[in-house]
Amino acid sequence: MRTATAPDVAVAADGRGPVPSPAGAVVPVARVLAGRPLAPHLAHVTGTGDLLALVAPATGETVGHVPGTTAGDVARAAAAARAAQPAWAARSVAERARVLAAVHDLVLRRREELTDLVQVVTGKSRGDAFLEVVGVLQVARWHARRGPAVLRPEARPGFVPVLSRALVRRVPVGLVANVAAWNYPLVFVLGDALPALLAGDAVLTKPALRSVPLAGAVAGLLRDAGLPDGLFAVLAGDSAALGEQVVDVADHVLFTGSEAVGRQVAARAGARLVGCTLELGGKNAMYVAADADVPRAAAAAVRDCFGGAGQTCTSSERLYVHADVASRFRAELLRRLAQLRLGWTRDGTVDMGSLVSPEHLARVLEHVQDAVDRGATVLAGGRARPDLGPSFMEPTVLADVPDGARCRTEETFGPVVVLTEVASDEEALAAVGATTTGLMASVWSRDVRRAQQLAAQVRTGTVVVNEVHLLAWGSVAAPVGGTGTSGYGRRYGREGLHEVTRAQVVLTQHGPLASWLLDRPPTTRSRLLTLTARALHGLGMP
């Protein structure tokens, strides 16, 4: 295996690049939970099937068992949701917003317990887990305070201005199915439910099985915030059949996950003429231009590529750096990476936690090995860390990666990034766009106007200038979503609320003029309508 190092960076004995040192031991789950049991959260799960084991990724411990959700359970949960939803929709938006405000306050009050649960079900470091709490606080606050204005009926001109009026109302779709990914369970379970609940919908949530304890805690929190019974249900199981059953009872589907499963969800929903919102994979890129602030960009790259152990849909897996600053950027990146602390503790003394499972770790390592077999250079990491736990891996930087390598085009979804030097902005833009995905990108330049011009040429749902995906994470007034094989539809902002509502138009005619006009004989009517069209155009009317 070819290796390389940067100046003043410690290297492993075998010369494979900087190896982060763990900050200490990986502690048992009981210490992270601070003695609190999971059973009260599991009581909120809808299930009468066989018991399913729940495993903590960081340690491999079995932390509990939960009854699986059967087809009959899905039908009963859907019936209960449909029975409860009309009364919820009949409440004023202001009343529903007050429940979201209460959710915000409870999340803030229970932030330590929720962070514990995120750590247990994901294997994340303390800091990465707490970011999920911050994310849902942002979502709850914005929707409670700004959401009612988005849902307010909007008056528009009718057929004859002044005399006729169109009122566009946003009404709930009814029952929303949320098939939530495992990598950000609090954000995807609670954060995605809040817009639908504000809109007046009921929500059936099917989290990943390992996320069920956290989803149960969310159900309890919503109840404590004043959400009526029946409007939010948690379904347990990882089978494809359960996912299909949930999709089949919904009026709209929210799905976060892989492109392959997203295509199946879209086809199944489309067969019923039901809408869906899909956030799928990304092969996101960061471009560091010749005039970028190199230390700042390198620090952001570490946060971006290795936060959540790289298991983030919007994190960068490709770094393109202008030749003029490439050596400086690489040295700064590796210097900072050598200081990254691996482990899993409750005290916030580690920077990067575990991957989600041994199986996922094996897939990530396959991408690294494939690149190395094709001639790639390992600048940092590249190895599993079984001394820490069953699914730990060193943060990895690869260079000299050929075009045919899997990690060039396929989403790795782990702590692996490909570093590539480019000679110009044009070469960088071409490389960034050389993928079918289009979720997130980042552009770095001291000239903000120039960076914005470069960003406008990138085909992604979001481009961040002089920061990384965490800026988009907190900007919940703006929509997030992808293009191409990264999916369609948007979460957050006005657009996200529109996803879980439908437009109803109420047209009102004031006075008899329009009716009189439409009742004229065809020739007279055509002449009068022509005169009306000319008059409206002359007056500058829409």
Q: What is the DSSP string of 185-252?
A: HHIIIIIHHHHHHHHT-EEEEE--GGGHHHHHHHHHHHHHTTPPTTSEEEE----HHHHHHHHHT-SE
SS3 313: coil
Q: Is 332 annotated as catalytic?
A: no
Contact 481, 487 (CB under 8 A): yes
| End-to-end alpha carbon distance in the chain | 67
Token pair 């010369």 is found at 15
Q: Is the dihedral of CA 428, 429, 432, 434 positive or negative?
A: negative
- Cα–Cα dist 31/184, whole Å: 22
Q: Which of 154, 144, 146, 234 is nearest to 198 (CA)?
A: 144
Cβ-Cβ contacts under 8 Å for 48 (sequence gap 6 or more): 67, 69, 70, 72, 73
Measure the CA–CA gap between 157 and 167, rounded to whole angstroms: 9
Give the ranges where 91-211 is alpha helix by DSSP (H): 93-109, 111-122, 126-151, 185-186, 192-199
Q: E strands of 289-406, at which residues? A: 316-322, 377-380, 396-399
Pick left, alpha or beta for residue 382 (phi over 0 → left; psi -120 to 50 → alpha; otherwise beta): left
> From the CA atom positions of the chain, what is the Rg in Å?
26
Q: How far apart are CA 258 and CA 407, in angstroms?
A: 16
Other Cβ atoms less than 10 A from the Cβ of 182: the count is: 21
371 in Cβ contact with 9 (< 8 Å): no
In 330-395, the DSSP E strands lie at 377-380
Kindly give the pairing relationship between strand 416-422 and strand 437-438. Answer: unpaired
Gap between the Cα atoms of 266 and 243, Å rounded = 12
| Catalytic entry in 259, 279, 317, 411 | 279
**Do the Cβ atoms of 289 and 445 come closer than 8 Å?**
yes
What whole-number distance in Å separates Cα of residue 99 and Cα of residue 95?
7
Please identify every residue annotated as catalytic: 279
